[in-house]
Amino acid sequence: MDLDKLDRKLLNELQINADRTNAELGEVVGLSPASVLRRIKKLRDEGIVERIVALVAPEASEQSLIAISEISLKRHGTDERDRFLKQMSAQPAVAQCYLVTGDTDVVTIASFANMAAFDSFVERCLASDRSVEQVRTHFVMRRVKFLPQVSFTEA
């Protein structure tokens, strides 16, 4: 889909705060409420807006231990890699999973209640997996910046 200037502006505004009425969004982007509604529906129908969610502060959760893991695989065949990615994606603790370039094959971001829960996850999902060669994990001490958005130039 080709995004025009108003689509890009609307997408930027939705990512800042999607909890505004169509009238409020329309005032900011220069559209009528009906036009905003039509554009959002089109953006959703075309898969550009995947879903609208609420962002919850990690501290509010019982799962406040955030682990960023770099996982290297022994086997790089497509079937084995896809099986592993599917397994990681199915884990409730894993919020994000990326296939990446470089020395690491997969990066996950996951949340746990405590170190024992993380250890159980490692044993169940990583240490016992025949394709995992190495896991290197970093634990988040403090979130400095978190912007879950894709920037669109409005030009």
Instruction: Tell me how many degrees the CA angle 107-111-114 measures, rounded to the nearest 5.
Output: 125
pLDDT at 129: 93
Pick from 111, 26, 11, 3: which is nearest to 62 by CA? 111
Domain count, the chain: 2
Q: Alpha carbon of 82 to those of 14, 73, 85: distances in Å? A: 33, 11, 5
- Same domain (yes/no): 38, 66: no
CATH number of 25's domain: 1.10.10.10
- Same domain (yes/no): 41, 69: no
pLDDT at 24: 97
List of residues 6+ apart from 106 with CB closer than 8 A? 70, 71, 73, 84, 85, 88, 97, 98, 99, 100
pLDDT at 62: 85
Instruction: Tell me how many degrees the CA angle 18-21-9 measures, rounded to the nearest 5.
Output: 55
Each residue's pLDDT tens digit in the chain (155 positions)?
Answer: 789 999 999 999 999 999 999 999 999 999 999 999 999 999 999 999 999 988 888 778 888 899 999 999 997 788 999 999 999 999 999 999 999 999 999 999 999 999 999 999 999 999 999 999 999 999 999 989 888 888 888 65
Residue 52 domain-assigned?
no
Residue 31 belongs to domain spanning: 5-45
Residue 144 domain-assigned?
no
Residue 64 domain-assigned?
yes
pLDDT at 148: 83
- Same domain (yes/no): 116, 91: yes
- Same domain (yes/no): 65, 107: yes
- Same domain (yes/no): 66, 119: yes
- Same domain (yes/no): 83, 117: yes
- Same domain (yes/no): 32, 96: no
pLDDT at 113: 94
- Same domain (yes/no): 63, 37: no
- Same domain (yes/no): 135, 64: yes
pLDDT at 64: 86
pLDDT at 155: 52
- Same domain (yes/no): 62, 134: yes
Counting Cβ atoms within 10 Å, is residue 92 exposed (0-12), middle (13-18) or buried (19+)? exposed
Residue 149 domain-assigned?
no
- Same domain (yes/no): 80, 113: yes
pLDDT at 66: 95
